[in-house]
A and B are shown apart, each in its own frame.
Chain A
């Protein structure tokens, strides 16, 4: 099965490259040998060929270059909130049932300032940037954390 799919791919690539490079002998011979070996795929290959020629005709001789630079997908407030809640659920001192985005760490969840420091450190690890002390001690609810990270990372909604 895999060899059949591979043969089809090679055939279509070889055909398009043959068109583009104006007669590369090697690809043509490779194409020919593959065709002779896989006679049972004639019907399928016909469809493939027509589809392939249409594609080649439309795009013309120029190649579509597509450069993809390595980067993380863009953040959204939704995704930030999901990640923040996920990290909080993993924290052993918080019971997941009581956790909401508006639950205050000290008043609702009964944590103390040392736990709050640990939580902010966990957020730093998760999102990969440092939060300075002065701003870290003000973040007392998950909603505030999400808003802070959104501000820092320029997330527009």
Chain B
């Protein structure tokens, strides 16, 4: 019925929401990295973030993805706290 009309690569609702979360975390991470004063640090962290996300791109297990989102959020919080302490 409805399922047969959708293309095979379509995500169900939970997967779709998770995908949006991942992209949101990536965007927030990039926005925080923008505030770092040193250009070399900025490039290094941007490359690191890109690497981390690309490496786990093909993961399909929802629980693993959830764990990785939590990890990314922790990294984001650390970065934000460091920036706040450094005063920028």
Contacts and interface: CB of A to CB of B under 8 A. Distances in A.
Nearest to A134: B20
B19 A118 contact: no
Nearest to A137: B23
B27 interface: yes
B31 A114 contact: no
A136 B31 CA distance: 14
Q: Which of A117, A136, A137 has the most CB of B within 10 A?
A: A117
Contacts of B66: none
Contacts of B23: 113-114, 117, 133, 137
B53 interface: yes
Contact of A121 (B20, B31, B57): B31
A121 B19 contact: no
B27 A117 contact: yes
Interface residues of A, number: 10
A137 to B, nearest CB: 7
A28 B57 CA distance: 79
Nearest to A114: B53
B51 to A, nearest CB: 11
Contacts of A121: 27, 30-31, 34
A112 B57 CA distance: 10
A125 B23 CA distance: 18
Nearest to B54: A114
A137 B19 CA distance: 12
Interface of B: 19-20, 23-24, 26-27, 30-31, 34, 50, 53-54, 57
Interface of A: 112-114, 117-118, 121, 125, 133, 136-137
